[in-house]
Amino acid sequence: MTRIRFREPSIIPGFRLTFGFTILYLFLIVIVPIVGLYMKTFELDWPSFWRILTGSRFQAALKLSFGASLLAALFNVVIGLLIAWVIVRYRFFARRLVDAIIDLPFALPTAVAGIALTALYVPQGWIGRLFSPYGITIAYTPLGIWIALVFIGLPFVVRTVQPVLEDFNAEVEEAAATLGASRLTTIVRVILPALLPAILTGFSLAFARAVGEYGSVIFIAGNIPRQTEILPLLIVFRLEERDYAAASAIAAIMLTVSFLILLLVNLIQSWSNRRFGNV
């Protein structure tokens, strides 16, 4: 029988110290707050918890938050891939500048982004004006929320795919070409599958960020109950009412759903890593 060992022998010293610190740190910074959140939720009795869960306002916000985040993250996967491709594969004037601009949504305070986006997309705004003749309103609708989430999620996919694409062996593409594959076939059947793990990572980062986003969304959302309210906003409302247990109940549900989605993405990823390994 093989003995299951807690750690493999290693010649690198300092395991106890570094591992101990890691666990302590994670415990204090991540685990304790999350446990506290769930504990707070248990102050509610089941009927009131159930009332929050089935409340129409909560349900609408739940669907909007996760739906808009999912769509925004998916959209960012497509656009992010395209941008990463352009930055990595072509040499053009101001390539460095474009590369730097990608990070702006990271750097910009989200409230500033929210105000700027709102000003642009209201019916009188520079961009909103182009759409209002066709009866399309962007600001104060789910569409506006989606745009804000696309904005803040953009860098994630670009930054995760970019290094993998840079390392992609040109010989593999040439091999596909010598075997008769057209450019499109090569991209679809050879390059994209190789980028899949990075794409999944980018997707989950963009998605997680979008679900938790508050600052940029509340300005452009308009916050109409049951229509353009996002979950974080509901939490703020409950807090303002000093109903901390209800606030933490909403937060706990959000956390659980997010966790399950990210877990799923991670499982897909580790499956693909196991399969393809690292050649």
89 binds other proteins (CB under 8 A): no
- By CB under 8 A, the count of residues binding other proteins is 24
Residue with Cβ nearer other proteins (196 or 239): 196
| Binding-site member from 120, 187, 196, 257 for other proteins (CB under 8 A) | 196
Half-sphere exposure of 92 (CA within 13 A, CB side): 10
Helices 46-54 and 56-89 cross at an angle (nearest 10°) of: 60
Q: Which of 119, 177, 187, 257 binds other proteins (CB under 8 A)?
A: 177
User: Which listed residue (194, 200, 257, 268) binds other proteins by CB under 8 A?
Assistant: 194
Q: How far apart are CA 268 and CA 273, in angstroms?
A: 9
CA distance 158 to 76: 9
Q: Candidates 2, 56, 124, 278: give the one binding other proteins (CB under 8 A).
A: 278
CA torsion through residues 213, 218, 220, 226, sign: positive
**Interacting residues with other proteins between 215 and 274 (CB under 8 A):** 272
* Options 3, 133, 180, 240; binder of other proteins; rule CB under 8 A: 180
Contact 233, 218 (CB under 8 A): yes
Angle, in degrees to the nearest 10, between helices 231-240 and 56-89:
130
Q: Give residue for tokens 């960012």.
A: 76
Contact stretch for other proteins (CB under 8 A) within 66-74, 191-199, 206-214, 225-233:
191-199
Of 168, 158, 249, nearest in space to 206 by CA: 158
Interface residue with other proteins, options 5, 16, 96, 275 (CB under 8 A): 275
Least distance between other proteins and beta carbon 173 (Å): 9
The site for other proteins (CB under 8 A) is made up of 169, 171-172, 174-182, 185, 189-190, 193-194, 196, 272, 275-279
